[in-house]
Amino acid sequence: MAHVKFFSGKTLPLEMHKVRIVQKLFLPPVEERCRLMNAAGNNTFLLQNRDVFMDMLTDSGVNAMSDLQQSAMLRADDAYAGSETYNRMVAKVQEIFGFEYFLPVHQGRAAENILATAFVKPGDVIPMNFHFTTTKAHITRLGGRVEELIIKEGLEPVNDCPFKGNFDIPRLETLIQEVGVEKIPFVRIEAGTNLVGGQPLSLQNMREVSAVCKKYGVRLILDASLLQDNLWFIKSREAACKNMTIREITTEIASLMDIIYFSARKLGFARGGGISLRHREDELRMKEFIPLYEGFLTYGGMSVREMEAIVVGLDESMDEDVISQGPQFIEYMANELHRRGVPVVLPAGGLGCHINASEFLAHLPHEQYPAGALAAALYIAGGVRGMERGTLSEQRNEDGSERFAELELLRLAMPRRVYTLSQVEYAIDRVEWLYKNRALVGGLRFVEEPSVLRFFFGRLEPIGNWQEKLAAKFREDFGDSL
């Protein structure tokens, strides 16, 4: 990926690939979008993909594979045990992270389940820069609790901090001293932080976290699912790393960790995942859970074709031209929206463009789920499916009260190698129109609320008839245009 200056003086991100396979898209009329949103319980997870024009729900498992990945899938070895495909995958993970031991799993949350089952017991405390929904759910179901120790800048929507995902090092050391090492089975780094705008950590901050962990003898674990974005930010934003290659930065990060796990639905442009381990005793502690929860030790619930795609995809994740596209498209979108007055998280992080729903819909109280309402409104306005990353993504407190999120964000994920710049421009235009008509957007309330991970399959309804009014305004402004 490159930024190219045009003769007109404008600078745009330029794709360093060409499209060889295409998939037809559909855009239902606005009245139909309004009906479909209500039929889906105002939950974008429950929309059918055939009814979505731009799917910006996630970048997990929806990134485009390269020609080399597709061709590699043809040589997969289907053997149940002793597969050469497995051997190639282990060798590639060892090459990139430098750890001897590897356990395959079918995706990232499966790795979280194995790690939590192996290490977490009632009363344990897990420090991390910020939680991810499924990570926290696995820890809390076993009686542990999460302590978020992100720096204060990480919870500010707009500032100049280039690494808003950094750990607060003094708070980490204080927590270890207060809780006691025996109650902390591991410290978890998420690079970058999914729920607060895909914000990265610096390599220097990871070194400092590692030093604290070594001082107290605490295991350090890296969630590397979003690592490729974080690698790009380290190289482009951290002065001391500008002359390092992506592989060199990866090697340095891995040298600080005891365990690295990842979802290949993000890291590797495929579907699957794995746990890479430095220490034999940790591998033995978790190994027995793989056949129990996942599959045999040489496939871990993955198809061998996906494993072959991961092998190639991990190599591509070490290529600057490949991993820069996502962050640069996201930066372009965030900066364009900011220029048009739309409140977004800045500096732009990885994973997607994050709209500050609290400011966008400042007239809505937290208990009416502004980020969820904004996600529903944007689908009606443009057939664009985003993901709520706010209070809906939290779990209620034990007494049943809402735990209001630190940030109310609508995430517009940027699947890698999928959308063109003209499609991104379309999404920007519809967001801008919605912002100018934001007074029409009302809140949501639950009609079906699961107790855990409610944002996946809970159902809500609009408070009042604001959606019909929004659709009518769209038709007034755009006429017969979809």
Q: Which two tokens stand for residue 433?
A: 């129109």
Please, how many CA atoms are within 13 Å of residue 198, restricted to the half-sphere of its CB? Answer: 34
Decide if 102 is catalytic.
no
Candidate list 85, 133, 193, 250, residue with the active-site label: 133
- Which residues neighbour 75 within 8 Å (Cβ) at sequence distance 6 or greater? 85, 308
Sign of CA dihedral 382, 387, 389, 394: positive
Candidate list 80, 456, 457, 478, residue with the active-site label: 80
Residue 197 φ/ψ region, left for φ over 0, alpha for ψ in the -120 to 50 degree band, beta for the rest: left
The answer to whether residues 371 and 408 touch, using CB atoms and an 8 Å cutoff, is yes
Decide if 7 is catalytic.
no
Decide if 266 is catalytic.
yes
Candidate list 136, 389, 416, 454, residue with the active-site label: 389
- Which residues neighbour 52 within 8 Å (Cβ) at sequence distance 6 or greater? 379, 383, 384, 385
Candidate list 55, 223, 229, 282, residue with the active-site label: 223
Decide if 133 is catalytic.
yes
Candidate list 53, 132, 262, 426, residue with the active-site label: 132
Q: Which two tokens stand for residue 444?
A: 């949501």
Decide if 140 is catalytic.
no
Candidate list 168, 455, 459, 474, residue with the active-site label: 455
Beta bridge partners of 13: 3
Please, how many CA atoms are within 13 Å of residue 27, restricted to the half-sphere of its CB? Answer: 15
Q: Which two tokens stand for residue 275?
A: 């746990």
Q: What is the CA radius of gyration of the chain?
A: 22
Cα separation, 263 vs 260, in Å, equals 11
**Active-site amino acid positions:** 80, 132-133, 223, 266, 389, 455
